[in-house]
Amino acid sequence: MKLKQLLLSSLVLVSASAWADPTYRLFVTNEKSNTVSVIDSRTGKIETTLEIGDRPRGIGLSPDQKILYVALSEENAIGMVDVATLEFLGKLKAGEDPETFDVHPNGNLYLSNEDDAKATVLNPATGEIITEIRVGLEPEGVAVSPKGDIALVTSESTNMVHVIDTASHKVVANILVAARPRGLAFNSDGSFAYVSSEIGNELAIIDTTTHTIIKKVVLDIPKSKPMAIKISPDDKTLYLTTGRAAKAAIINAETLELIATVDVGKRVWGAELSRDGATLYTADGVSNTVSVVDTATQKKVMTIDVGKGPWGLALDD
């Protein structure tokens, strides 16, 4: 999270107590073993494994990084864990089949409900579902802009990126993209968003002011199915997981030219980037591992065994 965002969230969360020191814990949802692995990111050692609910997929941290949220798809709920103590804090109703979410700077969760063609806005402090927004079929990726003014949701089976105004909670634009859009990410000032399309094997840049695609490329990586996107802190480099291609792609974020690929595990889906941009983590869904990639040398430096079907990652650093 960027400094601006931190300042903004601290203004919003005036009641929150002082910032805690980072735990450097890396949390991993294991979709098929119904667990969350807790890894000490400084050593790569598994610290513990949490059982908080069924089919954990989407994962993220509160703006103050004190609470871990996990989408429990099978339970139609969001599970909450204290990042520092690892104490289980309870579950919140989250609409049908929540798959993934992003956290607004004001603390609200924007969720995609895969089976229900809806996005849900949830206030985790009160458990209140603020609103449900009708979107296309099989909503998947969600990203809230750094300023919090818009949220983007991809609908996989209707090939769109929906732009939601977070003040009115209305869909204000729909952008047709290549088949089966999945991952989304903003650059640091929110002027651009990136979207990956799994079946179209495409990566596109959306201008968030004009709501148009300003650049797109079909990836030249065998078997590639583009999934999660991460952007470096300087906005210059884009990291993309590629599913069956079993590679993390390193891409020039401005030109979308492929710089390098790094071999990671099989069916790589989720990704996380350390705050300093030095380390990329990938969730390797079929290998049941997390790969650790040094972004400077563009090499995998460690493989960590986790549960079955690792899906998503969140790092408290």
Partner 1 sequence: MTKIKIWGLALTFLWSQSLLAEVIDVTIHYVGPTEGSVWLGMQQGMSEANLQGEFLGQTYTIKPVTLDELADLDEVTALLLASDAETIVAVAETEKFNNVPVFNLMSDEDNLRAACLPNLLNISISQQMKQDALAQWLAKHPGSKAHVQSWHESFRKFAASQLNSRFTKASGIIMDDDSWAGWAAVKLISDTVARIQSDDATKMLNYLRNDIAFDGQKGAGATFRQTGQLRQLVLLIENNKIMAEAPLRGVKGGLDSLGLLSCK
| Residues at the interface with partner 1 (CB under 8 A) | 114-115, 117, 135-138, 156-160, 162, 165, 168, 170-174, 176, 178-180, 199-201, 211
Query: Could you tell me the smallest distance in angstroms from the CB atom of residue 199 to partner 1?
Result: 5
Query: Could you tell me the smallest distance in angstroms from the CB atom of residue 31 to partner 1?
Result: 13
* 102 versus 140: smaller Cβ distance to partner 1: 140
Query: Could you tell me the smallest distance in angstroms from the CB atom of residue 186 to partner 1?
Result: 20
Which residues is 241 bridged to in the sheet? 248
Query: Could you tell me the smallest distance in angstroms from the CB atom of residue 195 to partner 1?
Result: 15
* Phi-psi sector, 53: left (phi>0), alpha (psi -120 to 50), beta: left
- What is the DSSP secondary structure assignment for residue 241, as one 8-state letter? E
Nearest Cα neighbor of 29 from 313, 272, 315 is 313
* 75 versus 138: smaller Cβ distance to partner 1: 138
Query: Could you tell me the smallest distance in angstroms from the CB atom of residue 260 to partner 1?
Result: 25
* 1 versus 137: smaller Cβ distance to partner 1: 137
Question: Judging by DSSP bridges, how do beta strands 229-231 and 237-241 pair with one another?
Answer: antiparallel
Query: Could you tell me the smallest distance in angstroms from the CB atom of residue 201 to partner 1?
Result: 8
CA distances 179 to 44, 71, 196, 218, 225, Å, are: 36, 25, 9, 12, 11
* 67 versus 161: smaller Cβ distance to partner 1: 161
Instruction: Take residue 228 and report the two structure tokens written for it.
Output: 């999660």
**Angstrom distance (rounded) from CA 165 to CA 167:** 6
Helix, strand counts (H, E) of the chain: 1, 28
Cα–Cα–Cα angle for 293, 303, 250, nearest 5°?
25
Nearest Cα neighbor of 45 from 25, 60, 62, 61 is 25
* 89 versus 117: smaller Cβ distance to partner 1: 117
DSSP string, 269-288: EEEEE-TTS-EEEEEETTTT
Taking every pair of Cα atoms in the chain, the longest distance, rounded to a whole number of angstroms, is 50
Query: Could you tell me the smallest distance in angstroms from the CB atom of residue 188 to partner 1?
Result: 25
Query: Could you tell me the smallest distance in angstroms from the CB atom of residue 111 to partner 1?
Result: 17
* 36 versus 177: smaller Cβ distance to partner 1: 177
**Angstrom distance (rounded) from CA 139 to CA 18:** 36
Query: Could you tell me the smallest distance in angstroms from the CB atom of residue 155 to partner 1?
Result: 8
Task: For the beta carbon of residue 275, count every other beta carbon within 10 angstroms.
Answer: 13
* 243 versus 312: smaller Cβ distance to partner 1: 243
* 27 versus 110: smaller Cβ distance to partner 1: 110
Nearest Cα neighbor of 125 from 90, 159, 98, 150 is 90
Q: Residue with structure tokens 């063609």? A: 117
* 41 versus 159: smaller Cβ distance to partner 1: 159
